[in-house]
Amino acid sequence: MSTTSLSKKYYYDEKAADRAVAFMESHLRHCKGELAGQLIKLEDWQKNDLIKPIFGWKHKDTGYRRYRSVYCCIARKNGKSTIGAMVALYMLYADSELGSEVFSCAGDKNQASIIFDLAKRMVQMDPLLSSKAKVFRNSITFPAKGNTYKVLSSDAKLQHGHNPNAVLFDELHTQKSPELFETMLTGTGARTQPLFFTMTTAGSSKTDGNIWWQQHEYSQKVKAGLINDEAHLSVIYAALETDDIQCPKTWAKANPNMGVSVFEEYLKAESKKASELPAYENTFKRLHLNIPTTSVTKWISDSVWMENYEDIDLEILKNKRCWGGLDLARTQDLSSLALYFPMEDQKDVVLVFFWCPEESANLRGRKYKIPYDEWIQDGYIKATPGDVQDYAYIRKDINDIISDYDLQSISFDRWNSSMLILQLSQDDGIPMSQFGQGYRSMSAPSKELEKKVLKREINHLRNPVLRWQCENVSLQTDPAGNIKINKQKSSEKVDGMVALVMAIGEMMTDEHEGESIYNERGILTL
């Protein structure tokens, strides 16, 4: 629609826009950090791109606000929650509509409560606001107008029948289901000038069924003028996929609060990490450059991986404590045992053992040009007789291997267990522990391995099979930032890396339950 056509329908109410700004800057205070207790001073982009347009533009015929929905997509650490809290409180206290219902919504209650808790502290810090409100654990009421502010989340039993005048929907990219979003959006239909304010960082799923992607794509088209929706305000701060991620000018595109709540030195360190860790590159792009990414990526660069090595005499591992991870092949593939040795005065040591049926190794070597024969000859893979896994052979080997060490326990995939597990546990007396393969179990030890690799704190003894498998890994990330190895998406075998992650996870579990193995040396930091 042309500017002339818009001018016939809408006008800018400068007094209303300034009133919203004045309310926020006169009553609302910073709740944490160096500025805690001081009145908030809105940044120019906050005023000019969000607050003034939302509350200033109105219909000429009715005087109602033009914008019923706002989509603000912005990188992490740019004050998204603060903006949400300020808008929520303005709608609670200063909006013209009586009986206003304001809601903070998100994927789970903890996320939904972030904006609400911030708003609650702002009310408690201002004598005038606190005198007019009743503050409860999960709600704030303004009795003079009959207005309420509450928290809702997708993990609670969804209640229909709400009549919201304002919805602050936080981190839409974490929503697994569109139900809460759609329910609250349709609930605003009975209001004369509702405000549905979506705040989010870019997500990692570009599928039509994903509610975040639907809204993001729609908002991009509105912003570009490809869709005419005069009631929808699109505010998107993001770098381009073609931009240099190491360049400060790129960072500034997605971080309008640069120098205020997010700083160049921090982004410089994060971009360096992204250059060393391919899997983190997508995370950096999504969280700090606001670029939508895929959920599956490469993990650790080969150059960084190979810096985690030093020559040692393996005799020093005799009788040392270690934890194991066992990834068993069903029939013809590689089986792997990883042992993780936390060391007191040097890099932690990783020993990984591989088994493969002899005939299968020869076939895969010829077909895929993988040097199985060399690895077998050099002792990195043991070829078991025949064309399927010889579990009796592997069982004997495992018992021989662990006899030299102070093995605490071995974790295994609970969905791929076999008679061998029972034999190792019940007949051989080896402590065996089930280990899930989902985000809940795999994320923490995967991040621990990632951290140690980046800090050059492990020694993998240049095992060429493990190096090859590390190159094969595709890492999957969920919207909450949890990670795990994706076996299905990985380019080739990754069982040794999976076993290593499980070994670290087993060690971390024991640490949690008892005294940390790092108490003696302290935890090293970057």
User: pTM of this prediction?
Assistant: 0.68
4 pLDDT higher than 70: no
- Whole-number mean pLDDT of the chain? 88
DSSP 438: S
36/33 Cα distance (integer angstroms): 5
Give me the mean pLDDT over the 296-309 stretch: 86
Residue 159 region by backbone torsions, left for phi larger than 0, else alpha for psi between -120 and 50, else beta = beta
What structural domains does the chain harbor? 3-236 (3.40.50.300), 248-294 (no CATH), 306-470+494-513 (3.30.420.240)
Percent of the chain at pLDDT > 70 equals: 92
Q: 61: number of CA atoms within 13 Å, CB side? A: 3
Q: 75: number of CA atoms within 13 Å, CB side? A: 25
Q: Which two tokens stand for residue 29?
A: 């205070």
Q: Which two tokens stand for residue 87?
A: 């808008």
pLDDT tens digits for 48-58?
Answer: 999 999 999 99
pLDDT band at 73 (very low <50, low <70, confident <90, very high): very high
Crossing angle (nearest 10°) for helices 439-454 and 495-513 = 100
Question: Could you write out the DSSP letters of every residue in 33-101?
Answer: STTTTSBP---HHIIIIIIHHHHHEEETTT--BS-SEEEEE--TTSSHHHHHHHHHHHHHHT-S-TT-E
413/425 Cα distance (integer angstroms): 14
pLDDT band at 519 (very low <50, low <70, confident <90, very high): very low
pLDDT tens digits for 430-468?
Answer: 999 999 999 999 999 999 999 999 999 999 999 999 999
Q: Which stretches within 473-514 are classed as H helix?
A: 495-513
How far lies 333's CA from each of 290, 383, 384, 475, in Å?
A: 40, 11, 11, 21
pLDDT band at 149 (very low <50, low <70, confident <90, very high): very high
362 pLDDT higher than 90: no
Query: CB–CB of 84/197 below 8 Å?
Result: yes
Q: 274: number of CA atoms within 13 Å, CB side? A: 19
331 pLDDT higher than 70: no
pLDDT band at 515 (very low <50, low <70, confident <90, very high): very low
98 pLDDT higher than 60: yes
393 pLDDT higher than 80: yes
Bridge-based pairing of strands 348-357 and 335-341 is: antiparallel
Residue written as tokens 């304002």?
Answer: 166
DSSP 518: T
Residue 259 region by backbone torsions, left for phi larger than 0, else alpha for psi between -120 and 50, else beta = left
